């Protein structure tokens, strides 16, 4: 009996050399974080595709699916990229050596 191949998010990849290892839509530099932030702002999948016409509905829905399956991870990327977090980092000089 052949074992099925499990594919959770076929349109998402994580590579250390792309966007610091954040999950992105395969073949792009568009992060799951960006798609999640657009959704938080009330953008629909069609509106996201209008902004990025090279994406497909399947890719955007898979990015959202990844987000909902891995909310803690993606939310940490959102927090790390927030203006407040970045200002605090400079204020505390954690990035200045």
Rounded distance between C-alpha atoms, residue 21 and residue 91, angstroms:
26
For residues 65-94, average pLDDT: 81
Domain ranges in the chain?
A: 12-91
pLDDT in tens, 12-64: 999 989 898 999 999 999 999 999 999 999 999 999 999 999 999 999 999 99
pLDDT at 53: 97
Ramachandran region, residue 12 (left: φ > 0; alpha: ψ -120 to 50; beta: rest): beta
The CATH code belonging to domain 12-91 is 1.10.10.10
pLDDT at 7: 67
Q: pTM (2 decimals)?
A: 0.81
pLDDT at 30: 97
């Amino acid at each position: 009996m052949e074992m099925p191949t499990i594919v959770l998010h076929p349109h998402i990849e994580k590579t250390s050399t792309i966007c610091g290892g954040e999950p992105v839509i395969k073949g792009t530099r568009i992060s799951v974080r960006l798609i999640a932030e657009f959704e938080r702002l009330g953008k629909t999948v069609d509106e996201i595709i209008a902004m990025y016409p090279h994406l497909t509905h399947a890719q955007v829905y898979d990015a959202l699916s990844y987000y909902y399956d891995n909310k803690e991870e993606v939310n940490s990327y959102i927090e790390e990229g927030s203006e407040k977090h970045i200002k605090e980092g400079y204020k505390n000089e954690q990035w200045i050596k």
